[in-house]
Structures are given as C-alpha cells and as structure tokens.
Structure 1
C-alpha cells in the first residue's frame, strides 16, 4: 500500500486520538483549524505534524495532501467533505459522515464522479474482531442470524445545553453520536440491509433525542432491538444470536474479544482478534487500501445505517437547523 500524505481538519479531542493511533507507513502531513490557527499550531507541535495552514481552504489547496481526515462537529461535515472532494482529496470522515441520507447520497455521487474514496471513520466496520466473528459463524456452522441487541448510554451533563451532545445547532443527540455505533454493529453482522419497524424517543430539554428504543428487521428475517441513553449511563454490550449459539460483545465500539456461548451445551469460549488501542489505526489502513484499490467495502454499510437513522429521526420529528433551512 502506498504511503499517503494526510491532512487533518478539526484538531480536537477525537483527532488527538486519531493521531495517537496513526499507523506506521502513512504520513501525518498537515493540519488546519477553521477558527483558531493557534490551536492548529499547538496540535501540530504535539504530534510533530510538519505543516500548519491558516484555514481549511489553504490545506485543501495544497497538492501534496492526498487524503483528508475530518473530525469537525456533525453539523459541518457535509460542507467540509464537499469542499475536500471538490479539491480532489480522498476523505475519511468521522461518524456520522453526514446528518442525513440525502446529504450522504450527494457526497457519494460527487466522490464517484471524481473517482475519490469517501469513507466513514466507523471503528466497528474496521475492527478485526468482526471479521473473526464472521469466520466463526462459518467454522462453527452456527446457521442463520436470528436477532441482535445493542445498548449504549453516555452520562452527558444535562446542565450544559450548549455542549456538542445536547446542542441541536451542532447536530447533537444520542442517535448520531452513540446510537450510530449500535446500528453499525447490527449492520456489520446482518446479511441484508435493515428497515425501520418501530421507534420511540424521549427528548432532552434542548429538543435532541435522549432516550430511545428501536426495532429493525430485514428481508432475511433478522431482527434487531436497540436502546440508547444520552443523559443517563447504560451498558455498552451487543448480542448476536444464531441458530446454534450466540456472541456477547462487551464494549462493542472497539472490541478485541467476544464470548461465544454454545446453544446446545452452554459452554463458553473467548474469541480474540485485534487491539482496542489500535482502532483508529485500522481505519487509516482500511482507507489506504480503499484508495489503492479504488474500492470502498464499507460504503453500503454506511449508507444503510444512515438511511435507518434518517427514518428514525423522521418518525421522531427531529430535524436539525441545517435540514430546516
């Protein structure tokens, strides 16, 4: 795989994690902050990134940069990605890649027209454990996937309504920031695209989703149930039930192991693959392979999950300011 030169837009906390896990064989080349050149300078110094740009446009204008990692807030992903694609850059964008399906389809079409890769930085799509679970299904002859369940909760402080997670202006809410992991977990294991069957939601005082429960299904009769909590905490556990046994995946966002329970004997075994502290590095490696081959194996999963989330918010009546304009 070639050594690609990476530019970073949005040098915040998530981008720090990204740089800490950035793999050898790829190059962190430049960084830009839209609001604070000083922030970009400090970030570059911390991670020994050689080039700092005055703004996003200057970074995107540099022909030396091959691919851009976007880690800005949800509400500006669409415009940031569009600008990068128009500048001829491949894009790895933090989840959720866009606010809704219409935005995503627009960007996918633009990327296709320009022969560029647009990939979502969704750890679940790239953790080696999920490939290993698929292999275990075949080796153990577990039969059909029957049902999935995943929960997620984050103890968001309710007295900070302007914070990213509670602020509708920034595309906040439990679904786009945390529920997306549970739905991506389901899509990663399902054998066909899911559709929304039922969903209910309780909003926060700011109007974004706090607590929700959702049921999905697909043409292969695989069912999924999900519960999300924004303000109260909740366990991060996923279950995948097959004809002849089931998997329990604790901390399924970036897992390195799962427990398999045999359906007949109830015997348990531990399945291991990958490393949690390399999760974002796996995303970089996957992006590099996609650029080299011209094929994005995760694109359909991203589209199916975004379509599901868009349908859920439509059922809730939750629109963000950018969607109302």
Structure 2
C-alpha cells in the first residue's frame, strides 16, 4: 500500500515539475503555487530516504510506460499464437448441432396456436377447417364448439301432402282437422313483397307475433317461426298462406295463384275507382249502397 501511494505521488510530482519547467511562462498564479507545493512535497519524499521511492522519483515515469507497452506487445503476440494454433488444430464440431442445422425439427404447435391458426383460416376462407361448414359470422364461437365431424344436413322442408303420405286415411283426416283448427287462430295480413323468384307474406300468429312466410321456386318455402327452424317441415303459417292461395295440395304452383290474386285485386281497385268517379246518385238509397261497396 505504501509503495503504490508513493509511486502515484512521485509520478504526479514529476509531471507537475515537467509542466512547470516547460510551460512556466503560460501558467497562472494558482498553477504556479500548485507546482511549488508539489515540488516541496517531492523534496520531502526524497528526504525520507526510501530506496524504491527515490529510484522512482529520480528515474521519472518512463519505466511505467515501457511496462504498459510491453504488456500490450505481449498480448498481441499471445493472440497471434492462439490464432496460429487454432488454424493448425481446428476445434471439433458437434455432430448433434450439425444434424440439427441440416435437418431442423418442426416445433409442435400448442393448442392455443392451433386455434389461432384455424381461426385465421376460417375468417379468411369462410370455411371451417374442421367440419367444412361455410359461415360468414360467429367464427370464434363455432370453432370453440366444433368437434371436427361434419354436421348432418338439415332435412329439406317437404310439402304437406307428402307428409300425409306416411299416414293412414283416418290419420290424414285427423291431421287435416287439427291443421284447420290451428289455422283459425291465425290471420293472413297479405302479400308484402313480390320478386321474380319469391313472394313474402305476413302472418299474425296466435300469440300475437308476426311471422314472414317466403314462397320460393322449387318448393323451398320457409317461415320465421321456431317450428319450421327445428322441424324443417311445412308449418301452420306456410299452410295458411297456401290455403289462402288454394295451393295446399300443389305447393309448387304458388306463382300462378299469386298472379291470379294480384289480377283480382287490380280489377277490384279499378272497379272501386270507376264507381267513385261516376255521377253522384240521385236518391238516398243509392248513396247508402255505394258506401257499402
């Protein structure tokens, strides 16, 4: 500890002395005072008579610099030797790591990663990657409950007369009577929409709910009630519309009946307009009769 502190003080004193002698004219009063203090301390250290300290103070700081330079040169030589030895004796490579690089193993995806991947495919392609079902909404909910087995297709709605073919004559009469009794509690509001492929009717149910019955080409009629959604057959609302059109026994011929009914309505409207535009009645009885018309 004594030697290291003394060496540091000796180097500082030598450096200050060199700076003071070389640039004495450019130093300030504070720096000159500091150099004088360092010189005084150096003289006191020399007066102590320590051999190693005296040698360092008299010899200057060149030896320390030479040692550092030598250390740097030794480190460079050692590095060159190591590199040369590495070239002569190359390090061994692990065969396991080499095989892993040449034949990388695919990492098994976790359950969450698989779900996210399938969900992305489902959203982009619109088709379930498990069961093949085509959907536009509710992809996540369907995928969470999907088991991968294709769902059995819903039974196609069948006409009412085809449903009666499985019954006997007496059972048919009873079924027809029950149907008529149920349709008494319904009310057909009329045609709401007509296009080239379908016709929509509004039906008021027995509980006060409104249902939309859609008649389509190819005997693909449908209804918004729960009975049709679950049982997939002609419900009482569809039968009511077909009965009103007179096509309960021929459900595929609904378009002709709708056109006939539309022609009748147009004819009635024209007749009413003609009666309203006619000359006013001359008697009170005629006026009362026109009101009922």
| TM-score (structure 2 length as normaliser) | 0.19
| TM-score (structure 1 length as normaliser) | 0.18
- Structure (1/2) with the larger helix percentage: 2
Higher RCO (Cα < 8 Å, 6 or more apart): 1
- Structure (1/2) with the larger strand percentage: 1
